[in-house]
C-alpha cells in the first residue's frame, strides 16, 4: 500500500474514533416493535457474478467506509420465514457423508461440524462448512439481506464432545449500500482503482441467477464448454477476485469473507501442461487479476498428474497457508465460488477434496498446503 494512502486510512481511523466518542448512542426501538423488512423483488434474478461482486458484511454503525461496507437497517427486522428461506436456499452439494448442521436461534446461524470424525475426514468437513457459510453469504447478497460473521476462534469452538461450532452468522435487514441499491457491477475505484492485469478483466454481471444456479449445483458437470483463457480468468476472479466494497476504509473487498482483512490465509494455483501459476489479485497497492508463473514442472510429475487427475487439461488447486480451520473454511468459500461460476458458464468440471497421495504430488509441483482441486 503506498505511504500516502496508508496515511489517509490512519487519519480516517482517528476521525471515526473521535466520532464514536462524541456521537450520542442512538436509541432504537426493540426488534419486536420494528417493521418487517421488505426484500427487493429482483433478488431471485441477481446473477452469480453480480452477487459475487456485491458480497459484503454488514454492521450497525451506518457508515459503509468505517468498518464493513454493508449497513444493517436497525429500524426493520427479518421475519423467521425470511431467515429460514435463506437457510433453505443455501444448500450446497456434498463431497462427504459426514454430519454438518446449521442451527438457528433467533436470527443467528451456528455452523456445526461433527467432532467425532477422523482428522482427515474432519478436514474435509471444515471445507464443506466453509462452502455452507459462503452459500449463506451469497444468498444474502442476492436477496438484499445483511449478514456478519462472529468468529469463535481460528479453529472454532468445541460446544460438546460431538460438535465443533465453526462460526456464527447474524442476519438482519439491510440498507442499500451501493448508491441506493443492494448490488453493484462496478470494478473497484476511488483511491485504489482497478489495475488491468495479464488476465482478461472479469465480467461482473451475467445471465444465470445465483439462486437458481446454487439450487442446481453439483460437484461435477458434463458441461458444453471447455475452459478458455477468458473463462479461466472468470473462475479465478470468482474464487478470490477484488470487488468494489471497502473494509475499514481500505480497498480490500473480495468475493470471499476475510478474517479481519487478512489476505494470505490461502492461495489459488493453476496447473496447465507443464506450468504452475499462482493467482494474484493485488499489485502495487491496487486491485488486479493476474497469473504469476512460479515454475516449469518436471516431466515425470506431469505424467503423475495425468494419472491422478485424468481427463483434466487444466487444474485449479486451492491451498492453505496455515494449519487452522479458518484456512479450511476459506478454501471452502473459494471452492463454492468456482463451482458456481463454472456452472453458470456451463464449463466441464469435476471437484475433488485431496487425499494424501494427490496432496503430495501437488506439493512436489510447488503448491503450498493443497486441499482441494477443480479439474477442468
Give 44-53 pLDDT, tens digit per residue.
Answer: 999 999 999 9
- Name residues whose C-beta falls within 8 Å of residue 148's C-beta, 6 or more positions apart in sequence: 57, 58, 59, 68, 70, 72, 169, 170
Q: How many helices (H) and strands (E) does the chain have?
A: 9, 16
User: According to the model, what pLDDT value does residue 41 have?
Assistant: 95
- Name residues whose C-beta falls within 8 Å of residue 110's C-beta, 6 or more positions apart in sequence: 102, 103, 104, 165, 167, 168
User: According to the model, what pLDDT value does residue 4 have?
Assistant: 45
pLDDT confidence band for 163 (50 / 70 / 90): very high
pLDDT(227) > 70: yes
Residue recorded with cell 492485469: 197
Residue whose C-alpha is closest to residue 172's, from 86, 112, 252, 246? 86
pLDDT(148) > 90: yes
User: According to the model, what pLDDT value does residue 23 have?
Assistant: 67
| Residue that wins the pLDDT comparison between 139 and 62 | 139
| Domains observed in the chain | 218-375 (3.40.109.10)
Backbone angles phi, psi at 189, to 5 degrees: -140, -150
User: According to the model, what pLDDT value does residue 33 have?
Assistant: 80
User: According to the model, what pLDDT value does residue 11 have?
Assistant: 60
Flag the least confident range among 27-36, 207-216, 250-259, 331-340.
27-36
- CA pair distance 199, 202, nearest whole angstrom: 8
Residue recorded with cell 503448491: 367
pTM for this prediction: 0.94
Give 72-109 pLDDT, tens digit per residue.
Answer: 999 999 999 999 999 999 999 999 999 999 999 999 99
Amino acid at each position: 500500500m503506498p505511504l500516502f494512502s496508508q496515511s489517509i486510512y490512519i487519519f480516517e481511523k482517528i476521525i471515526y474514533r473521535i466520532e464514536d466518542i462524541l456521537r450520542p448512542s442512538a436509541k432504537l426501538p426493540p426488534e419486536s416493535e420494528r417493521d418487517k423488512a421488505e426484500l427487493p423483488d429482483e433478488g431471485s434474478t441477481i446473477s452469480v457474478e453480480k452477487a459475487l461482486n456485491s458480497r459484503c458484511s454488514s454492521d450497525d454503525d451506518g457508515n459503509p467506509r468505517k468498518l464493513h461496507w454493508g449497513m444493517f437497517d436497525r429500524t426493520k427486522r427479518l421475519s423467521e420465514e425470511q431467515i429460514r428461506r435463506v437457510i433453505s436456499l443455501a444448500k450446497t452439494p456434498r463431497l462427504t457423508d459426514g454430519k454438518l448442521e446449521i442451527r438457528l436461534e433467533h436470527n443467528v446461524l451456528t455452523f456445526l461440524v461433527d467432532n467425532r470424525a477422523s482428522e482427515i475426514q474432519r478436514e474435509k468437513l471444515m471445507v464443506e462448512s466453509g462452502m455452507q457459510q459462503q452459500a449463506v453469504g451469497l444468498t444474502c447478497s442476492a436477496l438484499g439481506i445483511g449478514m456478519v460473521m462472529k468468529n469463535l476462534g481460528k479453529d472454532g469452538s468445541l460446544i460438546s464432545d460431538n460438535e465443533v461450532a465453526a462460526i456464527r452468522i447474524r442476519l438482519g435487514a439491510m440498507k442499500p449500500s451501493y448508491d441506493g441499491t443492494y448490488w453493484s457491477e462496478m470494478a473497484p475505484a476511488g483511491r485504489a482503482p482497478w489495475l488491468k492485469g495479464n488476465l482478461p478483466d472479469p465480467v461482473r454481471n451475467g445471465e444465470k441467477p445465483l439462486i437458481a444456479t446454487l439450487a442446481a449445483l453439483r460437484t461435477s458437470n458434463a458441461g458444453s464448454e471447455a475452459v478458455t483463457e477468458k473463462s479461466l480468468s472468470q473462475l479465478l476472479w470468482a474464487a478470490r477476485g477484488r470487488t468494489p466494497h471497502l473494509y475499514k476504509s481500505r480497498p480490500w473487498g473480495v468475493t470471499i469473507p476475510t478474517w479481519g482483512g487478512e489476505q494470505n490465509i490461502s492461495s489459488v494455483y493453476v496447473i496447465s501442461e507443464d506450468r504452475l501459476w499462482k493467482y494474484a489479485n493485488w499489485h502495487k497497492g491496487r486491485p488486479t487479476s493476474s497469473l504469476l508463473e512460479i515454475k516449469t514442472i518436471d516431466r515425470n510429475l506431469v505424467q503423475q498428474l495425468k494419472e491422478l487427475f485424468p481427463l483434466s487439461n487444466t487444474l485449479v488447486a486451492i491451498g492453505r497457508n496455515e494449519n487452522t480451520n479458518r484456512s479450511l473454511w476459506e478454501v471452502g468459500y473459494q471452492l463454492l465460488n468456482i463451482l458456481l461460476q463454472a456452472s453458470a458458464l456451463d464449463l466441464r468440471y469435476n471437484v475433488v477434496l485431496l487425499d494424501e497421495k494427490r496432496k503430495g504430488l501437488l506439493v512436489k509441483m510447488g503448491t503450498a498446503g493443497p486441499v482441494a482441486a477443480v479439474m477442468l
